[in-house]
Amino acid sequence: MTQIAHETDPDDIDPSAFDMIIDVRPHGATSARLQGSIFVRLEELLASPATVIETSNTRVLVTCDVGLRSAIAVERLRTAGYFNTTSLRGGIDAWRRSGLPLSGADGLTSVQLERYDRHLKLGFIGAEGQSKLLAANVVVVGAGGLGSPVIAYLAAAGVGTLTIIDDDTVDSSNLQRQPIHGIHDLANAKVDSAEAFIRSLNPDVQVVTHRTRLETSNAAELLAGATVVVDASDNFAARHAINAAAVAHGVPVAFASVYRMEGQISVFDASRGPCYRCVFPDMPDVTIPLDCLTVGVLGSVTGILGSMQATEAIKLIVGNGQSLLGTLVLYDGMRQEFTRLPVSKDPACSVCGDQNA
């Protein structure tokens, strides 16, 4: 048997020639990998190689992200007498760049493994979380200032179905804060330019559009089948209608609103905490103009709040991370300050309170 080299280039490797492939990436178990590889913590491997590798003659390929951890592992293993070990030079990144096949990550295609690579490297998403994102249906109410970043980031994240509800057309005054719409979309339906934006970004996303105004009468139907609802609407009537339908369907809502340079954000889920109405019980006089149509607003502030909503939606879908359920966050763009306020379920809530049980 010829002595194998300390490091081997991806193009010179035949994985089937090895008795074992050991992946020493800390996040390995949730990532795309060489077929047949097993995950072993580097510390564990170095502390007791005999419990992992059968004999000193066992032919072992060691892999990691860029070939540094695996090179260290091989050097130490060789010092311990395991001379048939080699490190994948350049790691799995180089393997991928050479167009060589990866597998094992929960039914994701090789194109998806590449597209969502940075999710796969995040322990809290990983392949399992990415599969959940691809299977999710997020209903986004509003394709305006908040909806634009929400739609952009959820589409990029690979949410499998984005259902977009908006009855508005694109106006030139929207372009200051709604970057999914462009000058060629003026006077067209926002749901159409939102759909075109998503299609140009990510073919994994199915787009469902409803060019309609969400109201109490149609909210339950429009929110049916949602994994998560994102309330990116700009008026109290819509928020209350979304809330009532979401409570009825048992679906969590990632809520935000923006006023001038300030914003607020929370997650509502009546099955585990407060609903919107628990926190905002009174519907203000609708003659008071509080929407973006009539007051000033900074586009980057809607960008911050919308990005936070997308983050909350993703955490809810993958079922990991601490959501804002039970916390209302206030954001002050002038001072760049966040304030966290605890909020809780109101037993007397007219939507989710005890009398409705």
- List of residues contacting Zn ion (CB under 5 A): 275, 277-278, 349, 351-352
User: CA–CA separation, 347 vs 353, rounded Å?
Assistant: 5
Q: What is the number of the residue whose Cβ is closest to Zn ion?
A: 349
Cα 346–Cα 351–Cα 357 angle in degrees, nearest 5: 85
Least Cβ distance, residue 350 to Zn ion (angstroms)? 8
Contact 1, 56 (CB under 8 A): no
Position 158: which residue type? G
Least Cβ distance, residue 171 to Zn ion (angstroms)? 35
Tell the residue number behind the tokens 């099955």, with chain if given: 271
Which CB sits closer to Zn ion, 20 or 254?
A: 254
Which CB sits closer to Zn ion, 60 or 351?
A: 351
Which CB sits closer to Zn ion, 190 or 277?
A: 277
Least Cβ distance, residue 97 to Zn ion (angstroms)? 52
Residue-level length of the chain: 357
Which CB sits closer to Zn ion, 34 or 279?
A: 279
Least Cβ distance, residue 266 to Zn ion (angstroms)? 12
Q: Which of 64, 278, 292, 349 is catalytic?
A: 292
Least Cβ distance, residue 224 to Zn ion (angstroms)? 20
Pairing of strands 327-332, 337-342: antiparallel
Residue 278 annotated in active site: no
Which CB sits closer to Zn ion, 55 or 271?
A: 271
Give me the active site residues, please.
292
